[in-house]
Amino acid sequence: MARPTSKDVAHAAGVSQAAVSLVLGDKWRGRVSERTAQRVRATARELGYRPNLAARSLRLGTTRTALLVVPALTHDFFARVYTGAARIATTHDFGVVLYPSPEGIGPAKDPFASARTALDGVIASSMAAEALTAIRGADLPLVMLDSDPTDPTPAAHVNVDLADGMRQATEHLLTLGHRHFLHLAADVDSWTFHVRARALAETLSTTPDATARTAPAPLAVHEARAAAEHALTAPGPRPTAVICDDDIIAAGACKAARRLGLHIPHDLSITGFDDLTLATAVDPELTTIRLPAEHVGERGMEALLAVLDGRTPAHDPLPVELVVRDSTAPPPP
């Protein structure tokens, strides 16, 4: 059976080929009715029509391809970001090329001989920002995820309300009665972690008898365990609650507590951040802050499409949610 063409779609839908091109190129708004657009898309699906992207790229000067730059995919948050971005891209006949930085966080080689001719835009996590160095010269539209909204460089920013997440976790522990805190802070110089540290300090400042000390921790379970163990055995009163910048760090803190003979949550409460799969794999399960990873990806792709179409993207931060599980309880008497 011959592959259906745009002419076949136009004939079956009872519209012109120009209307089919507008609808399937996502340029129909203000030119054809929404009812017609729905009929064209439904007809294309029924016929199994797939556009010739190579031919259209040559005709329109676009590739209908976005690059998603993230840290190494050992962190399932970014896998979910990709899922959300790809979901929106598919409905607009775009492709998403996933590019994890080979070193996790840091510079990476340009994956294209010419990014300008291979891509229409870039969506990037601030944690992998240095990986963009090689392609910034291509002058592509850039959407930054989880980054400083005052930075004028990107065409758009997509953020979640990190400060509110840290406030929720801290207030939860304060309400339980905790006053002596350890902050296991990710040892990554990134806006996303600076925001969490500021929000923690601001929230604790409202409770006069609350104290906190900070210890840097790598974003890896075994290294975070060593950092937590060192911090929990430092001179002075032992903290009754550990606030972690990430669930991976929190998993390391749980291992450190067990090695020190501490019971969670009776001797020590621990909170994470992100609500990764890991949060329910540890025992006890982690109280953490749930970030809407798929929505971040969706919003990122929507923002890029808006920029490419000359529209203003949404910029309000996405809400987060405190998920209370078994790793937190009142401090020991």
pLDDT at 130: 60
Q: What is the mean pLDDT of residues 146-153?
A: 89
| Mean pLDDT across 294-316 | 93
pLDDT range class, residue 301, cuts 50, 70, 90: very high
Identify whether the C-beta of residue 93 lies closer than 8 Å to the C-beta of residue 26.
yes
Instruction: Please tell me whether residue 61 adopts helix, strand or coil conformation.
Output: coil
What percent of the chain clears pLDDT 70, i.e. is strictly above it? 85
Q: Does 11 or 252 have the greater pLDDT score?
A: 252
State the DSSP code for 326: T
Fold adopted by 6-51: 434 Repressor (Amino-terminal Domain) (1.10.260)
Confidence of residue 45 (pLDDT cuts 50, 70, 90): confident
More confident residue, 80 or 21: 80
Domains 60-159+292-318 and 162-290 share a fold: yes
Q: Which sequence spans correspond to the domains of the chain?
A: 6-51, 60-159+292-318, 162-290
Architecture of domain 60-159+292-318: 3-Layer(aba) Sandwich (3.40)
Whether residue 157 is predicted with pLDDT greater than 80 in this model: the reply is: yes
The pLDDT, as a whole number, for residue 61 is 46
- Terminal C-alpha separation, the chain: 77
Which has the minimum average pLDDT: 81-90, 147-156, 183-192, 275-284? 147-156
- Residue of 22 and 40 predicted with greater confidence: 40
Task: Pick the closest to residue 48 from 16, 96, 84, 12 (CA basis).
Answer: 12
Query: How do residues 90-115 score in pLDDT, each as one tens digit?
Result: 988 888 988 886 554 444 444 444 44
Q: What is the pLDDT of residue 182?
A: 98
What is residue 59's predicted lDDT score, i.e. its pLDDT? 40
CATH class of 162-290: alpha beta
What is the share, in percent, of the chain residues with pLDDT greater than 90?
57
CA distances from residue 146 to 140, 165, 192 in whole angstroms, order as listed? 19, 13, 6
pLDDT band at 202 (very low <50, low <70, confident <90, very high): very high
The answer to whether the beta carbons of residues 175 and 329 sit under 8 Å apart is: no
Name the β-bridge partners of 138: none
